[in-house]
Amino acid sequence: MNYLGIDVGGTFIKYAEMDETGRILSGGKVPTPYTTPEDYIETLVSLVNKDYAGICISAPGFIDTEHGICVSGGSLEYLPAYYPLGELLEKRLGVPVTVENDARCAALAELWKGSLAGCRNALTVVIGTAVGMVVILDGRIYRGSHNIAGEIGYTLMENEYRDIYDFFGMRFSTAGMLKKIADVDEKYQDMSGEEAMERYRNKDEVLFTVIDRHLRDTARALYALQCIFDVEKIALGGGISRNELFLKTLQEKYAGLYEEIPYGLKPAQITACAFYNDSNLIGALYRHLYMQ
């Protein structure tokens, strides 16, 4: 019997039937409900149209994965605190259900079959609307005392909190880069990350310096993380990490820091995540099979 993976996103819920190797056999997606917890459960139950050996879920928010509890719902703000998602689904479906945080699922996919395979210590840093991070120590996700280790995005970068761009998660995100560009002139406010990198490639006389400073600051942030965690690899995810120029420039600026700072510090290898659209599904299956 195969497994059903479910990836709850902000817009869609993706689902896929997978075998025990993580191979996706079939799948699809449905709109994510933003109504009531009852509608949420019914939507998930409706995806189960045959017998499976287990159901593995990637979900937003803080997750108590040991008990299948959504401590908070993340983007699903209508979910009450400590929502027992796993227990409710097991009662309805009669099969084992596991629930894991979405960013951690992506990291588990990389650790299982992706760019972090074989690593003992590593970080995944997902750069998107915000920045998410997962810490892998001794081959396992480090969760911390309150299950929130790695939430680097909430780190304050200023002496006082003024707005969300004072958080690490926005300062070094794609959205953060685009805000810096829009601050130059509001006519740039609808620019995409891809267009920004194309202007950088062409050495745009107005925006090149702004983008270059953002990339340099991001490299310095990765340098700081390496000083704290001393990992073998840092795998970058998120849409902009697929841009070759972005990745190459960040690698160069990161390596340059170790040439400037003469203290014998050891850099991590900066690489891109191997999985993108299917990473949460694959990681959720890994959690289900190997972390019971």
- Domain count across the chain: 2
Whether residue 106 lies inside any domain: the answer is no
Predicted confidence at residue 154, as pLDDT, reads: 86
For 6-22, how does the pLDDT look when each residue is reduced to its tens digit (9 = 90+)?
999 888 999 999 999 99
**pTM of the complete model:** 0.86
Q: 3-class DSSP state for residue 75?
A: coil
Q: Which of 86, 125, 72 is nearest to 271 (CA)?
A: 125
pLDDT > 70? residue 292:
no
For 33-64, how does the pLDDT look when each residue is reduced to its tens digit (9 = 90+)?
999 999 999 999 999 999 999 999 999 888 99
Whether residue 109 lies inside any domain: the answer is no
Residues 154 and 248 in one domain: yes
Residues spanned by the domain of 145? 115-272
For 119-153, how does the pLDDT look when each residue is reduced to its tens digit (9 = 90+)?
999 999 988 888 889 999 999 999 999 888 988 88
Q: Taking the CA of residue 121 as centre, how many other CA atoms within 13 Å lie in the half-sphere pointing to its CB?
A: 10
Residues 94 and 123 in one domain: no
Residues 214 and 262 in one domain: yes
Residues 265 and 285 in one domain: no
Measured CA to CA, the distance from residue 57 to residue 171 in angstroms comes to 30
